[in-house]
Structure 1
Amino acid sequence: MTQDLRKKQLNKWAHAQLAARSMVISGAGPLVPASDDASFRRYYRLPDGLHPLIFVDAPPDKEDSRSFVSIAENLNDAGLNAPVVFAADYDLGFMMLSDLGTDLYLPAIEAADEAGADGSRPLYRDAIDALCIMQSIKAEVPDYNIILLRQEMDLFPHWFLGRELGHDCTGAEVKMLDAVFALMIKNALEQPQVFVHRDYHSRNLMVTSDNNPGIIDFQDAVQGAVTYDLVSLLRDCYFKLPPDEVRHWVVYFRARLIEQHRIDPVDEETFMRWFDLMGLQRHLKCAGIFSRLHLRDGKEGYLGDIPLVIGYMKEVCTRYEDLASFGGWLSEVVGPRLKSRLFE
């Protein structure tokens, strides 16, 4: 089914939902786009701009709306600020949600960064405090297991190295990557396992006047490593937080978890290694995903996000002896090829 036809169907469904609730809108025009993301979902608002509602087109052969509805309920029950699902048709793949507004975290932290001082700290504190609550949720979600962790990292050699850079790995490089991947998996599985949003970053958090932040795009949640969402937030693929601020918030988060008896006491350096290596696993995945979005889905903007991701990876490798050779390879082999690709 074409996107235009689905939009017409969603428009009809949306107005039927409103009529069933005796909601009157000024004008009967079609829904207007609200936002887009890296998935197959599309988001729309009413044309009058008065009703705080979002209508979602999530093609059932591509997206799991049941997971979204279930996890939205989990988040709201925990007192977090997630969209409320007012209606859902799983066969059609349509949903009607409460609208958390248009103020993403990303422009807010960018503006705070330009203003200097510690303007972004209240935003990060709110996000991390919400994360502490979110990790206590008991939900029926898949485990972030060996298979899933490895599948994600395999996107790096396939989509980023092979498809984006045109680099065929040698036998020695394959062996090196296998060793790095094994280290990442060990690190992820040795950590306390908690509810993981899986994309907890500045494009999936909304600045809200009450119960900040608003949390969206959580349907792919899993049960995984305690540092995963923290590194998604603090080593964001779309915004670079200064290293001293990253460390400040890692220390803050660890202390909160220990105070709340969410984790057993663990020394700061062990926790920091958990965080660093979890970030490396995530950024291996992200380099592959961004390449796939660029090449397969025609989303050019994601190519420009890859240098920051590779930069994070190299930064982590400088801290740990068991990653030194991988870091050197990133600088000597991957770096020049990426630079050439960006400036073709």
Structure 2
Amino acid sequence: MKELNLCLEWYYPSVYSKPLSLEAVKEWETIWALLLQSQVKSETLVLKDFMVDNLVYLRKRQGVQRCGLLDFQDAVYGSRAYDLVSLLEDARYDVPQEIQSKMIDRYLEAFPYVDRALFLESYHILGVQRSAKILGVFTRMYKRYNKSKYLAHLPRVLKWIEQDLNHPSLKRLKEWFDLYMPSTERKVLNAD
């Protein structure tokens, strides 16, 4: 919950010039506790930072072994959806919806025993979780360390949140966002 609350601690006050009400924070935490309770805790190895910048092409190898991995020291056991959502909803790169859909289909074809509906539910829940955390982290990088380059990625992160909130399992969270951070008011911070 601590990582999730970075969005409320950094992004929200920077956009709205005030802290979020205690009532709204409690509601946020209640919704997330319910959503995360449904998530598999230790399904597979999760690299957590699985994104294109951490992939290396290894010429001398064959097949999938040509793909080398960097930045795996924070690996944990978790949901099989986490690394795929990290790759396809990268904060720094646009991945068209068509490519996302094809990659999800390809992944699920490779693992036919994985329940598609449950996987997609996890994918979208973890997508919003990850993006909300990133909103907070990138805002903090700007506010605390004056690293304005992170602000350029906020529109993409907001787009991923909007996209993932459309999943039916996130109805209550979408209602929370619509009430406390409506899409018309979610915005990118400007470097001062």
TM class by shorter-chain length? Answer: 0.7 to 0.9
- Is 1:269 the counterpart of 2:113 in the alignment? no
What pairs up with 1:47-66 in 2 under 5 angstroms?
none
Q: 1:299 deviation in Å? A: 1.9
Q: Paired residue for 1:291, among 126, 129, 139? A: 139
Q: Paired residue for 1:237, among 66, 91, 95? A: 91
Higher strand proportion: 1
Deviations 1:240-286 (A, max 9, x none): 2121221221122122233xxxxxx3432221111111111111111
Aligned to 2:185: 336
Q: 1:154 deviation in Å? A: 1.6
Q: Paired residue for 1:176, among 27, 30, 34? A: 27
SS at match of 1:342: coil
Aligned to 1:308: 156
Equivalent AA in structure 2 for residue 240 of structure 1: D
Q: In 2, distance between residues paired with 1:202 and 1:335?
A: 30
**Judging changes above 3 Å, is the alpha-carbon distance between structure 1 residues 299 and 343 closer, same or farther for their aligned structure 2 residues?**
closer
Between Structure 1 and Structure 2, how many residues are aligned?
186
Deviations 1:158-206 (A, max 9, x none): 1222356533112442233123321342243x36521111100122112
SS at match of 1:203: helix
Equivalent AA in structure 1 for residue 108 of structure 2: R
Root-mean-square deviation (CA, aligned residues, Å) is 2.4
Gaps of 5+ in 2: none
**Judging changes above 3 Å, is the alpha-carbon distance between structure 1 residues 308 and 154 closer, same or farther for their aligned structure 2 residues?**
same
Equivalent AA in structure 1 for residue 57 of structure 2: V
What pairs up with 1:1-344 in 2 under 5 angstroms?
150-163=1-14, 166-188=17-39, 190=40, 193-209=43-59, 210=61, 211-258=65-112, 265-320=113-168, 321-329=171-179, 332=182, 335-336=184-185, 338-339=187-188, 341-342=189-190
Gaps of 5+ in 1: 1-149, 259-264
TM-score by length of 1: 0.49
- Structure with greater contact order relative to length (CA < 8 Å, sep ≥ 6): 2
Deviations 1:78-120 (A, max 9, x none): xxxxxxxxxxxxxxxxxxxxxxxxxxxxxxxxxxxxxxxxxxx
TM-score by length of 2: 0.83
**Judging changes above 3 Å, is the alpha-carbon distance between structure 1 residues 330 and 226 closer, same or farther for their aligned structure 2 residues?**
farther
Q: 1:218 deviation in Å? A: 1.4
Q: 1:331 deviation in Å? A: 5.6
Percent of aligned positions that are identical: 25
SS at match of 2:145: coil
Q: Is the 8 A contact 1:280 1:316 kept in 2?
A: yes
Q: Is the 8 A contact 1:164 1:295 kept in 2?
A: no
Q: Is the 8 A contact 1:317 1:326 kept in 2?
A: no
Equivalent AA in structure 2 for residue 309 of structure 1: V
Higher helix proportion: 2
Q: 1:228 deviation in Å? A: 0.6
Equivalent AA in structure 1 for residue 13 of structure 2: G
